[in-house]
């Protein structure tokens, strides 16, 4: 395979993934709005499903390739979750500070942390079994049903139901639903084709450059399949729909772990083997990055521009580490020492201090009355 052909595979795969995800998200979002689902839940479910479709397609394509490429499949999911938090939220927050729903911080973000920890636990024996994949798939279904039911209940409480106005309205609604369903189908076809091209191109690059499939999955393919999340979150942020922006990332990460890894483990023709490097470093990093979001989101219910800048800096540091490790650079030990004993402690301490500050400001205070001489009762 020539270099020119490899380049065309990459460019074509990326283009089809982006276009397919855009078409899919647009059709699915319109269908969701027509049944009365809130923008936050659209971000957590419909848009998250749509923007996770590239990960689904790439991961399944990697597992059913001949020979199967489990390192690329696992690296794609882990790398996508890391880039979704650090890269996607970082870029979106730099554009406009993001508003985080208090309800999402109290329920969905802790759920994401728990699911990430569960996946880490499943991977400790270096394999993802069929039974563990089935557990993750059941979790994806339960999360989807729970999100939609909760949103529908809240919508009914806020807005009275409006009855239809005759056959013309019903016919128009059916036509609109059919058009949006067609968009969903076209988007899925484009995603599957784009995923095949991307995996083929990534494999060819790994062979030419003698780079491991895990690194390709953690970086090039992970960022490529995160492009729909970047585009969706950035557009939603600029249009003022910041619930969709944050909900898209949180929901996409949940579905990557439950749906993508679940399908990968449950339907793979062979046992999914977790690469040792991913188990030692990348999966723990994914858990730390996810867990740190909880206290950061809790501060003022926003993601500020400086926090977005910190996310981007952390992603750059992570990518630099992967490159140094791959080429076995002499500066790797020093880099790891600084990251472990300086970078990570400073980040964690800052997050804890900001969380304590927010808790102190929001803590319930006893009512006091002031007497005429200025003393409090």
218 secondary structure, DSSP code: I
The span from the CA of 51 to the CA of 29, in Å, is 12
Closest among 92, 110, 94 to 102, alpha carbons compared: 110
How confident is the model over 187-224, as pLDDT tens digits? 777 877 777 787 677 767 766 777 776 777 777 777 77
The span from the CA of 50 to the CA of 170, in Å, is 27
Res 174: pLDDT: 72
Res 107: pLDDT: 85
The span from the CA of 111 to the CA of 287, in Å, is 12
Instruction: Let me know the angle formed at the C-alpha of 139 by 138 and 144, rounded to the nearest 5 degrees.
Output: 100
Res 154: pLDDT: 60
Res 123: pLDDT: 92
Res 161: pLDDT: 46
DSSP secondary structure letters along 279-303:
IIIIHHHHHHHHHHHHHHHHSTTEE
| Structural domains of the chain in order of their starting residue, each with its CATH number | 3-155+178-361 (1.20.1420.30)
In the structure encoding, which two tokens stand for residue 350, read together?
């800052």
Cβ pair 222, 54 in contact under 8 A: no
pLDDT along the chain (377 residues), means of 10: 75 79 72 65 71 76 77 84 89 82 83 94 91 93 83 59 49 72 79 74 72 72 72 71 75 90 85 86 91 77 81 87 78 79 75 67 53 46
98 secondary structure, DSSP code: E
Q: Is 362 helix (H, G, I), strand (E, B) or coil?
A: helix
- Is it true that the peptide bond before 67 is cis, omega within 30 degrees of 0? yes
Res 162: pLDDT: 42
């Amino acid at each position: 395979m020539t270099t020119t052909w490899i380049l065309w595979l990459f460019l074509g795969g990326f283009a089809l993934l982006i276009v397919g995800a855009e078409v899919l998200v647009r059709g699915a979002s319109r269908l969701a709005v027509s049944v009365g689902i809130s923008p936050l839940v659209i971000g957590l479910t419909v848009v998250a499903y749509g923007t996770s479709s590239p990960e689904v397609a790439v991961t399944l394509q990697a597992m059913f390739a001949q020979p199967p490429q489990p390192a690329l499949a696992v690296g794609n999911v882990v790398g996508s979750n890391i880039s979704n938090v650090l890269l996607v939220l970082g870029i979106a927050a730099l554009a406009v500070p993001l508003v985080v729903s208090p309800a999402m911080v109290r329920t969905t973000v802790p759920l994401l942390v728990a699911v990430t920890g569960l996946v880490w636990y499943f991977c400790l024996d270096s394999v993802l079994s069929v039974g563990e994949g089935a557990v993750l798939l059941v979790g994806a279904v339960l999360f989807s049903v729970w999100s939609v039911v909760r949103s529908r209940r809240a919508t009914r409480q806020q807005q009275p139901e409006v009855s239809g106005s005759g056959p013309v309205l019903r016919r128009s609604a059916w036509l609109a639903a059919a058009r949006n369903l067609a968009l969903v189908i076209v988007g899925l076809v484009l995603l599957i084709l784009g995923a095949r091209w991307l995996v083929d191109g990534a494999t060819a690059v790994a062979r030419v450059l003698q780079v491991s499939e895990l690194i390709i999955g953690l970086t090039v393919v992970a960022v490529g399949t995160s492009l729909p999340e970047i585009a969706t979150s950035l557009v939603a942020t600029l249009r003022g729909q910041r619930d969709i922006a944050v909900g898209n990332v949180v929901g996409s990460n949940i579905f990557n772990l439950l749906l993508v890894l679940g399908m990968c483990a449950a339907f793979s023709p062979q046992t999914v083997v977790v690469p040792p490097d991913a188990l030692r470093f990348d999966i723990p990093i994914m858990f730390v990055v996810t867990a740190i979001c909880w206290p950061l989101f809790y501060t003022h219910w926003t993601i500020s521009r400086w926090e977005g800048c910190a996310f981007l800096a952390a992603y750059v540091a992570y990518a630099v580490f992967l490159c140094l490790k791959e080429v076995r650079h002499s500066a790797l030990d020093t880099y790891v020492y600084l990251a472990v004993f300086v970078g990570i402690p400073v980040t964690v301490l800052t997050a804890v201090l900001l969380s304590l500050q927010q808790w102190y400001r929001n803590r319930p205070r006893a009512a006091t009355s002031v007497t005429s001489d200025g003393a409090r009762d």
